[in-house]
Amino acid sequence: MKAEDLEKAPKITNLLKKAKGGLKATLAAMRFVQGDEVVAAFLSKYDSIPKGDRDHLPWEAIGLSAELDLRALLGSAALAITNYCGNESRIIAVTNHPSITRARVRFGKTLVGAEKDRTALDMMVGALPSPKGPTFIGKAIFGSGSAQSTPSTSSDSDDGEPTEMFGAEDDLDRLFPPANAMQEKLIGIRQKLLTADNGE
């Protein structure tokens, strides 16, 4: 690697430092990634550098020494952050939802002005219709005023658009797609775009 190559390289280090937690958090997210050759090559080179040196080297220098396209490295790092934060958000939301539901029930039962809590609970169990129309999960309709059985056919919402049906075997995965599955799809899309750019 020549000094002029580093000077002309896109400055990805400064961009990645803007992530909450900076480069340390970005690196932690990248270590969760599987199947991305760019991330694997970067981590292999990064881990081979003595700690005292790598803490002071810009990521452009590490990426170039690993013979990586820095734009691809930036994209892979951003995707890793998105994947990691998506998992963290999902875990926080799911594990806190029971306590939020308990609070809604408590407030709805005891507070005169807790109209929104009572309404939200009624919509959750199907006692009141959802303002956005019914949600289909498997063969049950929720938010239509009552939970009832329905055949697996499409239904029109108020605006004429069909409401999506979710199969019983994939209801949670459709509602909350696993982050690793989304990452695999996005990696393929990114690689196709990079291939198309290189072919021009």
- Each residue's pLDDT tens digit, 56-111: 899 999 999 999 999 999 999 999 999 999 999 999 999 998 998 888 888 888 88
Among the residue ranges 98-107, 118-127, 135-144, 183-192, the one predicted with the least confidence is 135-144
Note whether 142 and 187 are same-domain residues: no
**112 is a domain residue:** no
Return the SS3 of 137. strand
Residues 6+ apart with CB under 8 A from 38: 68, 69, 72, 73, 76
DSSP-assigned letter for residue 129? B
Residues 9 and 44 both lie in one domain: yes
Asked whether residue 16 falls in the same domain as residue 39, the answer is yes
- If asked whether residues 164 and 185 sit together in one domain, one would say no
In a domain, 96, yes or no: no
pLDDT of residue 147: 45
Is 150 inside any structural domain?
yes
If we measure between CA atoms, which residue out of 15, 112, 95 comes closest to residue 59? 15
In a domain, 121, yes or no: no
Cβ atoms of 165 and 136 closer than 8 Å: yes
How many Cβ atoms sit within 10 Å of the Cβ of residue 151? 7
Tell me the pLDDT of the chain averaged across its residues.
77
CA-CA distance, 67 to 44, in Å (whole number)?
12
Assess if residue 9 is contained within a domain.
Answer: yes
Supply angle C-alpha 78, 38, 24, rounded to 5: 50
Residues 53 and 24 in one domain: yes
Q: Is 193 part of any domain?
A: yes
- The upper half-sphere exposure of residue 180, i.e. CA atoms within 13 Å in the direction of its Cβ, equals 5
Q: Are residues 45 and 13 in the same domain?
A: yes
Query: Are the C-beta atoms of residues 134 and 155 closer than 8 Å to each other?
Result: yes
Q: What are 98's two structure tokens? A: 């029971």
* 82 and 141 part of one domain: no
As a whole number of angstroms, the distance between CA 136 and CA 146 comes to 12
Same domain, 82 and 133: no
Same domain for 54 and 18: yes
| Residue whose token pair is 């939970």 | 147
What is the extent of the structural domain holding 137? 126-169
What's the number of domains the chain is made of? 2
Q: Is residue 67 part of a domain?
A: yes
Provide the β-strand partners of residue 198.
none
Structure pTM? Answer: 0.57
Inform me whether the pLDDT recorded for 22 exceeds 60. yes
Lowest mean pLDDT among 13-22, 36-45, 87-96, 97-106: 97-106
Distance CA 19, CA 84 (A): 12
**Residues 162 and 192 grouped into a single domain:** no
Residues 23 and 79 in one domain: yes
HSE-CB at 192 with a 13 A cutoff on CA atoms is 6
The residues, ordered by sequence, that sit 6+ positions from 31 with a Cβ below 8 Å of its Cβ are 43
Residue 21 counted as domain residue? yes
Domain shared by 12 and 54, yes or no: yes
